[in-house]
Amino acid sequence: MVDSTTPIDWLVDEHPQEECGVLGIYAPKEDVARMAFFGLYALQHRGQEAAGIAVADGRGIHMHKDSGLVSQVFSPERIASLKGDFALGHVRYSTTGSSALSNAQPFLIETQYGPIAVAHNGNLVNAAELRAGMLRNGMGFSSSSDSEVITMMLAGAPGANWFERIKNAMQRWQGAYSLVVLTRDQLFAVRDPWGIRPLTVGMLPTGGHAVASESGALRSLGCQAIREVRPGEVIMLTNTALSVAQALPPAAQTALCTFEHIYFSRPDSFWDGRSVHQVRQRLGQQLAEEAPAVADVVVPVPDSSIPAAIGYAARSGIPYNDGFIKNRYIGRTFIEPTDSLRKMGVMLKYNVIFENVLDRRVVLIDDSIVRGNTTGPLVRLLREAGAREVHLRITCPPIRHPCFMGVDMGTYDELMAHRHTLEEIRQISGADSLAYLSLKGMKKAIGREEGYCDACFTGVYPFEVNAHTAKTGFEQPAGEQA
């Protein structure tokens, strides 16, 4: 039977699963809940399991969150009930902790200093150790999420004000955290010293400021003067100038997530000051140089691979065309398919445009192969549509190692490139040829040799990690809770 809180797993996306999206708004005399709703809409691609908005009015914090998409969680009446000058929002895909509603964000608790709500994107690699110590000291938890660990630590941190408490708590956090922290009369943006996950702040045209995981969400709210929150920085959002402080020094070597460029971010966003769309085009151009093919048409796996396919086609001289039409919502349904529909598998999500591939040699561009769930079926769809040859090209190196910093890429046993050689992957996929972009070529396309985390390709993490950590590592069977 399907868990009512979890999208069905019969058509799991091949790509690494989105982490989360966070949003914060300070806009006096504006309908901040409504603004947060539309800001979260622009971040929906980063998480589809749950959504939540918390609003502060100077006296307290009011919140609503639930499982589902933003449009399912919030009605006009619910939005109208959330009044205040400050808003915090979150869309979730589970990375630590399951998709149960108890893990949905924001987390809201009462403290001796008043209420505090937290929205978190990332993963603390030392969360289990921190949580165990808090449990030994008699503290209880209502979820299996590391984000609750962050919230509880903020509540108990020493300091004369919230900035000092945030700064003191940051001293003990190891890993990825881009946070928005809401009190009854303040809003903070916080980023880890490695800069792993994105966080961007901008000025609203009506006064006030907003912060979000991606610049595209800020532009949808009309923000100007957009800049990234710097590694180790804490920013208090105000109506005039931002109040900015360097809580921790930036790491000697930053570790920005490469996959923001490859897959996660919307193409209209900027990451590390670079246009995501342009970087993806350069990834395709570099791939065409490294792995040319004799073919008739270049076809992307929509949607994130479209810019790369355009770049590959431009550099190779092979015409670009659409080969697949994607149903963008089928993978997010909560309804179980019939047995006959289940057997159709990937055909429910992708339809081939027959006339664009019939009797043609196809270069199929995709941004990654993770577990290998859909690559083979997509190749078969092209062959069944009449493609003479299918040459598979991937715009990043083979993913051989899990991510412990906020991306659900699976375990070592689940990763295709960890278990198989290049030739074995080609045979399994059914492609006539297969090539990945080299690590050097990927960095050339991004435009930086250093400063990015490439651990999923190399196994070299920016800090020590526990390779046996599971995303549901805090969860134990009934009767075995600590």
- Give all strands (DSSP E) within 276-342, no chain letters: 297-300, 324-326
pLDDT at 401 over 90: yes
Q: What angle do CA 152, 233, 250 make, to 5 degrees?
A: 110
Where do the domains of the chain lie, and which CATH numbers do they carry?
A: 20-255 (3.60.20.10), 275-449 (3.40.50.2020)
Average pLDDT, the chain: 89
Q: What angle do CA 183, 187, 190 make, to 5 degrees?
A: 110
166, 188 Cβ separation under 8 angstroms: yes
Amino acid 333: pLDDT: 57
108, 61 Cβ separation under 8 angstroms: yes
Burial of 216 (0-12, 13-18, 19+ CB in 10 A): buried
Amino acid 478: pLDDT: 32
Amino acid 13: pLDDT: 55
DSSP 3-state of 317: coil
Cross-strand partners of 20? 92
Amino acid 472: pLDDT: 46
Q: What does the alpha-carbon distance between residue 401 and residue 125 come to, in Å, rounded to a whole number?
A: 15
Burial of 406 (0-12, 13-18, 19+ CB in 10 A): buried
Residues annotated as catalytic (active site), given as ranges: 20
Q: Which of 38, 30, 28 is nearest to 91 (CA)?
A: 38
Amino acid 236: pLDDT: 96
> Which pTM value belongs to this model?
0.89
Q: What does the alpha-carbon distance between residue 173 and residue 248 come to, in Å, rounded to a whole number?
A: 11
Q: Which tens digit of pLDDT belongs to each residue from 186-216?
A: 999 999 999 999 999 999 998 899 999 999 9
Burial of 192 (0-12, 13-18, 19+ CB in 10 A): buried
Amino acid 44: pLDDT: 93
428, 420 Cβ separation under 8 angstroms: yes
DSSP 328: T
- State how far Cα 49 lies from the chain centre: 12
Amino acid 8: pLDDT: 38
- Give the tokens for residue 85: 């000058």
417, 369 Cβ separation under 8 angstroms: yes
Contacts for 423 with CB less than 8 Å, ≥ 6 apart: none
Q: What does the alpha-carbon distance between residue 404 and residue 122 come to, in Å, rounded to a whole number?
A: 9
- Give the tokens for residue 224: 């100007």
Q: What does the alpha-carbon distance between residue 26 and residue 265 come to, in Å, rounded to a whole number?
A: 24
The pLDDT of 380-389, averaged and rounded, is 97
> What is the β-pairing status of strands 452-453 and 256-257?
parallel
Greater model confidence, 136 or 460: 460
Amino acid 233: pLDDT: 98
Question: If you count them, how many residues does the chain have?
Answer: 482
Greater model confidence, 66 or 339: 66
- State how far Cα 347 lies from the chain centre: 25
